[in-house]
């Protein structure tokens, strides 16, 4: 079974392991992070945008972002206009400044971190689809952006549905190739009432899991995610004791 990073890399996401890390740190669903990078920079390339503003000779639209070019752009931004920057195409001056305060909008990791956080903020306020729409802007173009993002999100959720986000323990790595093939066949054949395809099933299962996670409260934890992780760890402990007692 592939890791989440391997799935991302297979389908063109740049610096996949770091995307997994940064999405988790921002609290962004990995499929949404992959969707954003696919939409904004063909998978996370650190490039300049193509907005219709004068580059002033400071950078080349579509070319790789460098620290030197960014500094020149930033110097003339108020006069020439804002351009999309980096893997998440930060364009609004306030968002670029936010990234600069964290180390530089030109920096791939900083750019991803800030972009992921902004998308999370939009999604918390407006929901998934309208969160994507707000990230892009407003008007008819933003509506089309959101519709396409939702289609891509469904594809990424399906791709990542059976992927691991961490390395398996030695005992889990003992799965044979035949067992892995059987598990993959089961996943591909998944259907539940109210869905017509494995893709719809994955989306439905994910939504249900998120609702359960959001409702969890456990003493000693500060968030639903902490509670979910704690409960999972306890289940693993119980399973280990049961196995040892057999």
Express each pLDDT in 86-133 by its tens digit: 999 999 999 999 999 999 999 999 999 999 999 999 999 999 999 999
CATH code at 1-166: 1.10.530.10
Say how many C-beta atoms besides its own lie within 10 A of residue 31's C-beta.
24
Residue 220 pLDDT: 62
pLDDT higher than threshold 50 for residue 8: yes
Residue 31 in contact with residue 153, Cβ under 8 Å? yes
pLDDT higher than threshold 80 for residue 196: no
Q: What is the pTM of this model?
A: 0.68
Residue 13 in contact with residue 19, Cβ under 8 Å? yes
pLDDT higher than threshold 80 for residue 49: yes
Burial 198-225 (b: 16+ CB within 10 A, else e): bbbbbbeebeeeeeeeeebeeeeeeebe
Residue 210 in contact with residue 124, Cβ under 8 Å? no
pLDDT higher than threshold 60 for residue 82: yes
């Amino acid at each position: 079974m592939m890791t989440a990073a391997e799935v991302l890399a297979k389908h063109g996401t740049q610096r996949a392991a770091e995307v997994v890390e940064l999405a988790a740190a921002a609290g962004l669903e990995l499929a949404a992070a992959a969707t954003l990078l696919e939409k904004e920079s063909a998978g996370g390339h650190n490039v300049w945008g193509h907005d219709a503003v004068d580059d002033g000779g400071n950078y080349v639209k579509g070319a790789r972002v460098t620290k030197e070019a960014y500094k020149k752009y930033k110097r003339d931004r108020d006069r020439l206009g804002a351009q999309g920057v980096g893997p998440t195409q930060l364009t609004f001056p306030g968002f670029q400044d936010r990234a600069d305060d964290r180390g530089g909008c030109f920096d791939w990791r900083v750019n991803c971190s800030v972009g992921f956080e902004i998308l999370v903020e939009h999604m918390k306020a407006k929901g998934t689809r309208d969160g994507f729409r707000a990230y892009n802007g407003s008007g008819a173009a933003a509506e089309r952006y959101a519709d396409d993002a939702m289609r891509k999100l469904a594809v990424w959720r399906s791709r990542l549905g059976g992927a691991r986000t961490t390395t398996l323990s030695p005992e889990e790595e003992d799965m044979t190739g035949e067992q892995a093939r059987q598990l993959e066949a089961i996943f591909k054949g998944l259907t539940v009432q109210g869905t017509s395809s494995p893709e719809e099933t994955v989306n439905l299962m994910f939504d249900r899991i998120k609702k359960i996670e959001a409702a969890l409260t456990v003493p000693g934890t500060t968030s639903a995610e902490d509670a979910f992780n704690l409960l999972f760890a306890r289940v693993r402990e119980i399973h280990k004791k049961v196995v040892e007692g057999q």
